[in-house]
């Protein structure tokens, strides 16, 4: 960040302007149908995972009954496999929410219009976020990531990376950092005025909500 600010003060100033405009124009975009639709698409994943975490018995009945012998629960699948398949669907909604707002709000940024500051800071946020996400998968595996603990499966207890460098929910932090990085890389003045930066904040708040659910419910 310091290096990017030094070599590209104009790009840094634009980023600060976007941050200020995200808050300054909150009233203008927070109730727009486009922004609300994008937020709702992001929330689909949170709704599914809340049910999976808080109501494991009901989820098991649903998967073994309604979903039996479907794509979601095929031969040889267990509950974690089902959750993982829902994860892939959820990511389509999540990516679709960002794409919906971005491509309908304003013309997409051209590659040559991305400032050096955006490249350096945005790419670093994405890289850091993905390092945390990969670290989670390597440390506790698919069963740990997709709530196998709630369904009686053995999950390794990890005190190493990435749990020893940041917080109790490094995967959620990594996902939020990735979202902020991608939003910064694609940001323009027109998109920010339609809620592009605000959508990244919504994503982060939804991950904070899920952290609360896993800690307290």
Tell me the C-alpha distance between 152 and 18, whole Å. 46
Q: For residue 27, give both structure tokens.
A: 């009233």
pLDDT digits (tens, 9 = 90+) for 36-64: 999 999 999 999 999 999 999 999 999 99
| Percent of the residues in the chain that have a pLDDT greater than 70, as a whole number | 100
DSSP symbol at 107:
P
pLDDT exceeds cutoff 80 at 210:
yes
> Three-class SS of residue 194?
coil
pLDDT digits (tens, 9 = 90+) for 96-145: 999 999 999 999 999 999 999 999 999 999 999 999 999 999 999 999 99
> Three-class SS of residue 68?
strand
**What is the average per-residue pLDDT within 73-92?**
94
pLDDT digits (tens, 9 = 90+) for 23-34: 999 999 999 999
Query: Is-above-0.85 flag for pTM?
Result: yes
Say which range, 10-14, 73-77, 105-109, 213-217, has the weakest mean pLDDT: 73-77
pLDDT exceeds cutoff 80 at 166:
no
Question: pLDDT value at position 74?
Answer: 87
| Percent of the residues in the chain that have a pLDDT greater than 90, as a whole number | 93
Question: pLDDT value at position 93?
Answer: 98
């Amino acid at each position: 960040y310091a290096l990017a600010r030094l070599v590209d003060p104009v790009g840094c100033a634009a980023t600060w302007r976007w941050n200020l405009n995200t808050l300054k124009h909150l009233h203008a975009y927070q109730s727009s149908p486009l922004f609300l639709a994008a937020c709702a698409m992001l929330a689909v994943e949170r709704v599914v995972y809340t049910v999976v975490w808080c109501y494991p018995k009901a989820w098991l009945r649903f998967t073994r009954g309604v979903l039996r012998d479907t794509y979601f629960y095929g031969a040889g699948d267990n509950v974690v496999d089902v959750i993982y398949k829902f994860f892939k669907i959820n990511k389509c909604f999540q990516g679709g929410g960002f794409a919906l707002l971005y491509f309908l709000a304003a013309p997409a940024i051209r590659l040559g219009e991305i400032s050096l500051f955006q490249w350096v800071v945005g790419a670093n946020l994405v890289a850091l976020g993905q390092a945390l996400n990969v670290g989670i998968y390597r440390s506790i595996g698919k069963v740990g990531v997709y709530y196998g603990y709630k369904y009686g499966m053995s999950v390794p207890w990890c005190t190493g990376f990435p749990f020893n460098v940041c917080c109790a929910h490094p995967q959620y932090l990594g996902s939020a950092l990735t979202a902020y990085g991608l939003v910064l890389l694609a940001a323009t003045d027109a998109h920010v005025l339609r809620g592009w930066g605000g959508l990244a904040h919504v994503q982060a708040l939804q991950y904070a909500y899920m952290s609360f659910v896993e800690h307290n419910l």
